[in-house]
Amino acid sequence: MSVSSSGSAAYSGSLEGSNAQRGLWSSRLAFILAATGSAVGLGNIWKFPYVTGENGGGAFVLVYLLCIAIIGIPIMMAEVMIGRRGGHSPVNSIKAIAQRDGLNPAWKLVGAVGILAGFLILSFYSVIGGWAISYVGTTASGQLSGQTADAVGAIFSGLLSNPGTLLLWHTVFMALVMLVVAKGVRSGLERAVSILMPALFVLLLIVVGYAMTTGHFGQAAAFLFQPDFSMLTTSGVLVALGHAFFTLSLGMAVMMAYGSYLPKKISIAKTSITVSVIDTGVALLAGLAIFPIVFANGLEPGAGPGLIFQTLPLAFGQMPMGSLFGTLFFVLLIFAAWTSGISLLEPIVEWLEEQKGMNRTVSTLGAGVVCWALGIASILSLNLWADFAPLGFIPMLEGKTIFDLLDFFTANILLPLGGLLVALMAGWVMSKPAMEKELALSPGTFNLWFVTVRFITPIAVGVVFIYNLM
């Protein structure tokens, strides 16, 4: 992707303008930038490696890839299609389609699930975004150079044990997100995605290059890509499914909102596949960067949410120009998290504006501050409340802190539920000719998609739910 050389007018600014004004930035590109900005985030670089490590590697990765291909991409297409056909914010798009196609307005529930999920996810997402901010200073100061795994681990534990520092960086991250949402200026940031994402990709490649010199690259590749099904549990399958939704920003009507700005002549299938491939590529690259370092230093693949913060700093401490690359890496990670965070807050703010008649500043402040306050519970889960498992009496939630519960409830339950509703809406209730027209696929491909959202997605989500939750 290259950046326009002819100045600001080339890009229509926000997505809002993308239908009206087209310059060097095609609207397809504008959509891809916004959708990729939302999709690529902490989910790819922070969460994917650690859930893969916790769930035993290859078999989990395979299930995750299958979920992306046969559930994620079709659901993304359905969301974008509903958004484009509705032409409004998610709640109103569904209302508009409901009127046009004669559906029950109860489908608005999809929007409600999304708003709740976004709000809950952002509360802990911002805490992790704060970790990334904190690590800019850690890497830039040069204190990592030549450190041992123990020392790097101690720096991370030091951060977690300090609620004040965590709160400071959580506050900074949330403020960054609120600033952009309140001002309604997405354009600059979205344009930046076209430079920063490739830059993040290159830095990941540099770390992968370093990881190859550790002598444990083969072991890492085998861990990621040689499925050992004895390692896979039913809860692992649920986590893989939930993560497919999380990483692609699905199940929350975000892609619906973006789809409403996609011009009619652009292929929904091709754009959805492009976004999904970029997103998956970043995650796999992060895995290839991190696991060689894990094995080379005798670390634990299942170390949990701290995994990248206990491994990447080791690499940056050892490679040439590590302080520079490390600092750049965490700055880029913050940008990736920032564009995702915005897409988590935006739906709530839009809803408050539309339904409650608040102006943008007030609704951003209201939603942002409540979300920030909820984040404090996640911060305390890392230290003072580390042993507090409020729902521990339920066997599958045993030992889960508030932070773990928020992650579990949103990624593994709310998002797949939102996705299930989208699949049911597209597969069973929307007008088929209208969808044929909207997707403009060959009859064979359309039917493949239709059968998937009508049967395969609901059955797959249903079976995984029943196995895990019953």
Nearer to ligand TRP, 367 or 415 (CB): 415
Residues 20-49 that bind ligand TRP (CB under 6 A): 38-39, 41-44
Say how many residues touch ligand TRP, by CB under 6 A.
17
Of residues 332-351, those binding ligand TRP (CB under 6 A): 340, 343-344
Return the residue of 127, 254, 423, 441 that touches ligand TRP, per CB under 6 A: 254
Looking at 170-178, 242-250, 288-296, 432-440, which segment touches ligand TRP (CB under 6 A)? 242-250
Q: How far is the CB of 40 from ligand TRP (least distance, A)?
A: 7
What is the per-residue binding string for ligand TRP in 347-386, x denoting contact by CB under 6 A? ----------------------------------------
- For ligand TRP, the closer of residues 341 and 427 by Cβ is 341
Q: Minimum Å distance from CB 249 to ligand TRP?
A: 4
Q: Which stretch binds ligand TRP (CB under 6 A): 55-63, 180-188, 241-249, 313-321?
A: 241-249
- Using CB positions, name the residue nearest to ligand TRP: 43
- Cβ 387 to ligand TRP shortest distance, Å: 28
The residue range among 248-256, 291-299, 323-331, 390-398 that interacts with ligand TRP, by the rule CB under 6 A, is 248-256
User: Of the candidates 124, 169, 210, 246, which one interacts with ligand TRP according to CB under 6 A?
Assistant: 246
Nearer to ligand TRP, 128 or 152 (CB): 128
Nearer to ligand TRP, 42 or 389 (CB): 42
The token pair that represents 244 in the structure block: 């497919």
Instruction: Identify residues 113-142 at the interface with ligand TRP (CB under 6 A).
Output: 118, 121
Q: Which C-beta is closer to ligand TRP: that of 250 or that of 328?
A: 250
Which residue, 217 or 258, has its beta carbon nearer to ligand TRP?
A: 258
Interaction of residue 252 with ligand TRP, rule CB under 6 A: yes
Would you put residue 92 in left (φ > 0), alpha (ψ -120 to 50) or beta? alpha
- Taking the complex as a whole, how short is the minimal distance between the CB of residue 103 and ligand TRP, in angstroms? 23
Q: Which is nearer to ligand TRP, 89 or 340 (CB)?
A: 340
* Contact present, 419 and 457 (Cβ < 8 Å): yes
Three-class SS of the chain: CCCCCCCHHHCCCCHHHCCCCCCCCCHHHHHHHHHHHHHCCHHHHHHHHHHHHHCCCHHHHHHHHHHHHHHHHHHHHHHHHHHHHHCCCHHHHHHHHHHHHCCCHHHHHHHHHHHHHHHHHHHHHHHHHHHHHHHHHHHHCCCCCCCCHHHHHHHHHHHHCCHHHHHHHHHHHHHHHHHHHHHCCCHHHHHHHHHHHHHHHHHHHHHHHHHHCCCCHHHHHHHHHCCCHHHCCHHHHHHHHHHHHHHCCCCCCHHHHHHCCCCCCCCHHHHHHHHHHHHHHHHHHHHHHHHHHHHHCCCCCCCCCCHHHHHHHHHHHHCCCHHHHHHHHHHHHHHHHHHHHHHHHHHHHHHHHHHHCCCHHHHHHHHHHHHHHHHHHHHHHCCCCCCCCCCCCCHHHCCCCHHHHHHHHHHHHHHHHHHHHHHHHHHHHCCHHHHHHHHCCCHHHHHHHHHHHHHHHHHHHHHHHHHHHC
Q: What is the smallest separation between the CB atom of 275 and ligand TRP, expressed in angstroms?
A: 10
Q: Cα separation of 342 and 371, whole Å?
A: 13
Nearer to ligand TRP, 18 or 38 (CB): 38
Tell me how far, at minimum, the Cβ of 326 lies from ligand TRP, in Å.
20
Q: Which of 152, 345, 415, 441 contacts ligand TRP by CB under 6 A?
A: 415
Contact set with ligand TRP (CB under 6 A): 38-39, 41-44, 118, 121, 246-247, 249, 252, 254, 340, 343-344, 415
